[in-house]
Chains A and B, each alone.
Chain A
Amino acid sequence: MTAIRGDTAFRWIATASGLAVLAMLALMIGSTTLDALPVFASQGVWQFLTGTTWDPGISRTEITGTYQAGVFLYGTLLTSAIAVVLAVPVSVGIALFLSEVAGPRVRGPLIALIDLLAAIPSVIYGLWGLHFFAPTVLKPIAQALSGALGAVPTFAGPVIAFNVFYAGIVLAIMIVPIISAIAREVFVAVPDAQRDAAYAVGATRWEVMRSVVLPRSRPGIIGATMLGFGRALGETIAVALLIGGGTVIGASIFKPGETVAAKIVNTFQESAPEAVRALIALGVTLFAITIAINIAARVIVRRMGDLSGEAVA
């Protein structure tokens, strides 16, 4: 009897913890949105999202300042776009190398090393980027680029010490492990029979990749790209250390900018209560965007069949 009752209890406990995860997510959305409501209400959602004025007030109880997220949303999208544009080709290359070229002796250690890249904390990327990588490696590159292409507004100089470009590059390094891990799983999922068929008619290895592996994997690569993009959007500390902090939308990637996440950690400590609420409204906005991208990406990846979750986590 107790054993049967045990089964009932077991079912309840397991179901309860499953539902607890859902409840947590619901609570996350509810608690933050409720807190930020006065900001959305006073600014208007559309104005909040598209305006470019961020002029915080100092009240403890009311919303007296102007809070518009446009500049930070622009910075967030721009840095993440730079990161994705750079990271996707490299990641797909690594994944192809791992699944199509490398022998098992190289594959294992290389996967482990790329996993280590994912394990390094964001703050170490930031410290390293700020005091080593940006000044010694990226600065000459940025100056060369702005020297050669300075006429294009995107690359206009001068290169400021903290800028969107540096933040984007370090973000790219940070999302390579995520994109490459998913892409590799997608490539591995391509049936060997199809590869063999192509090899049998005399295709070279590259031709097999180009005409068999890549076309079949396109949705998976798109999904992986979106997940990498989503991660880049929410990345905070490394960006906060590198991007400098701009208050205007500028065309040049060699000027400082600001992302939503960086704005939150950079100004939280000096903010009056009303401005803290505005930061929470920023957080809610960021959450909504990343979640939408995540859901879309996962729906796409899922259509590819059940991939292991480890890479996605």
Chain B
Amino acid sequence: MTDTRMPLRGRAWRAALPLLIVGAFTLSACQSTTTGPSTSSNPSSPSNPSSPGNGAKTSLLGAGATFPDPVYQEWIGAFVGANPNVSITYEPIGSGGGVEQFIGQSTDFGGSDAFMTDEEVAAAKKARDCDVLHIPTVFGAVAIAYNLPAVDGLVLDSATIAGIFMGKITKWNDDAIAAQNPAATLPGTDIIVAHRSDGSGTTSIFTTYLDHESSDWHDAVGKGKEVEWPTGVGGQGNDGVAAAVAQNEGGIGYVELSYAIENGLAVASVNNADGTSVEPTLASTAAAADGIQIPDDLRFNILDVGGQGYPIAGATWVLAYTCGYEQPKADALKAFLHWSLENGDSIAQELHYAPIGDALQKQALANVDRINADG
């Protein structure tokens, strides 16, 4: 129903295409690449897609979060390698844009680092006249990177982290830090706080954690993709924060775990709800969701992490509808998500994303099966 609206509009615009000289001369050159990403060699796919068959090719378009983009692209590469009659494009335009495009019916699926708000879900339901599905795909952790050459294995609890990022703890040898690191010789130098200046899911996970843990933080800063930082230097992207930390002794900042591992940054262990200090790793990130109560709609934050779990973690989601897909599209999307959730763990781990674990995977797959269930 509403699903046909966008394509129709697209077609009307496309009718004007022949007018365009520029388009015309590129047409002949690129016809074979119009429907999907390059078919050039891709080591991680099981078999390289040969030239696609002449039969009807199903194409899916998704857009959204940039955080899981590397893993989504490699999943897509591997999946379409084995299923050459499907082409999938995922545009990493950011979670905000991803949700808007998804609500606006211009994509087949969305990607977001934050689950949709009630307002967004209501808008999407209204636009499509059926339910929205949240399908968690991987976990990401937020690591606290620091630059103190003499200190190995820094340990911090949530109150200390909040104090540092609020500018209340300004020296490395502050009692709050020393109490948790009795063995370390902490210098009396200034702490240089670095944070993201762009809107990001990483900031959202980090501030949601602090907002939940610290009432001071809740009152003074709050949570979100962008917040009003009381102190520190801003950096654009993980790169910006990592550079600000790496190039300044005494620096501290938060980055995606995958980025920290990839670039070999020193990261702090964080005390979880059981008081265990846990180093951020793929295993401890995966363990974070173990004891978490997950609601039926799979919209959840990972908070109050205990056991061996690393406490600053969050999921990223694929968004889909329960209705309105042409059947081949629904089948292709379901097949892709099944494949990714069931077989995508090793690719995810290579890229330093944590798999979501068996229990949640079962729930996620149940949601995958509801895609287009309402016709």
A interface, CB within 8 angstroms of B: 53-56, 58-61, 66, 158-162, 240-241, 244-248, 255-256, 258, 266-267, 269-273, 275
Contacts and interface: CB of A to CB of B under 8 A. Distances in A.
Contact of A244 (B226, B231, B233): B233
A239 B303 CA distance: 37
A54 B224 CA distance: 12
Given A58-B117, A256-B197, A269 B233 contact: no
A247 B247 contact: no
B119 A266 contact: no
Bin chain B's interface residue count. Answer: 35 or more
Say what secondary structure dominates the interface of chain A.
loop
Given A162-B236, A245-B240, 6 more contacts: A161-B248, A244-B235, A245-B196, A258-B197, A266-B198, A270-B94
Nearest to B120: A60
Interface in B203-244: 222, 224-229, 231, 233-236, 240, 243-244
Interface stretch (B95-103, B131-139, B269-277, B317-325): B95-103
A256 B229 contact: no
A60 B93 contact: no
Contacts of A161: 235, 240, 243-244, 246-248
Given A59-B119, A158-B192, A266-B236, A244 B225 contact: no
A273 B120 CA distance: 11
B84 interface: no
B123 interface: yes
Contact of A271 (B199, B231, B243): B199
Contacts of A58: 117, 224-225
Interface of B: 66, 93-97, 100, 103, 117, 119-120, 123, 192, 195-201, 222, 224-229, 231, 233-236, 240, 243-244, 246-248
B234 A258 contact: yes
Given A58-B117, A258-B197, A270-B96, A247 B235 contact: no
Contacts of A159: 247
A248 B224 contact: no
B235 A60 contact: no
B240 A247 contact: no
A266 B93 CA distance: 12
Query: Which 8 A-B pairs rank lowest in CB-CB distance, beginning with the nearest?
Result: A245-B197, A270-B199, A269-B94, A161-B243, A245-B234, A55-B228, A270-B94, A246-B234
A74 B235 CA distance: 17
B236 A53 contact: no
29 contacts: A53-B228, A55-B226, A55-B227, A56-B199, A56-B225, A58-B117, A60-B119, A60-B120, A66-B228, A160-B192, A160-B233, A160-B247, A160-B248, A161-B244, A161-B248, A162-B243, A241-B236, A246-B233, A247-B228, A248-B229, A256-B233, A256-B234, A256-B240, A267-B226, A269-B94, A270-B96, A270-B200, A270-B201, A275-B96
Nearest to A265: B198
Nearest to B226: A56
B199 A267 contact: yes
A171 to B, nearest CB: 17
